[in-house]
Amino acid sequence: MIKNAGGVFCPADEMYLPALQGFKNGGLYNVEIKKTRNPAFHRKVFSFFKFCFEHWSADKTDWKYFDEKKQFDTFRKHLTVLAGFKEVTYNLDGGLRVEAQSLSYANMEQDEFESCYKALIRAAISNIFNNTKDENVINQLYAFFW
């Protein structure tokens, strides 16, 4: 969410609008608000996730039946694991379980978040953009390096 003038909170991205439409105007709701570590950098990281997601194109997989938010969240977690930011545990049956490390402010300091971003870029280049020849896509990708 982004706080606008007058204290009004709005979704940071349009993909989250459908989730908010179920709430009635004037209704009273309890919410938990957490301040992000560096809002501009946080937006840049999620913009990078979105750019990678759009290039990867979930409609080419079985994920096409998920809603867009579910596709994006799953993709984001998978890329985070590929970047090496993961937690490994075991299921009750003894099988290995790998989950993406939380990128939330409470779970990751700014310096670790910056390291994670660099690792995300390397993982995306290796796993998503590795065969890209389109100069427009390459130039957009390079814009995230600065």
Token pair of 61 as six digits: 């997989």
Residue 131 placed within a domain: yes
Model confidence, pTM: 0.70
Domain that holds residue 71: 37-143
Sign of CA dihedral 62, 65, 68, 72: negative
Q: How many independent structural domains does the chain possess?
A: 1
Residue 23 placed within a domain: no
Residue 135 reports pLDDT greater than 70? yes
- Mode of pairing for the β-strands spanning 96-100 and 2-3: unpaired
Return the pLDDT at 90.
94
Q: How far apart are CA 38 and CA 9, in angstroms?
A: 17
Q: How far apart are CA 27 and CA 102, in angstroms?
A: 30
Residue 58 reports pLDDT greater than 70? no
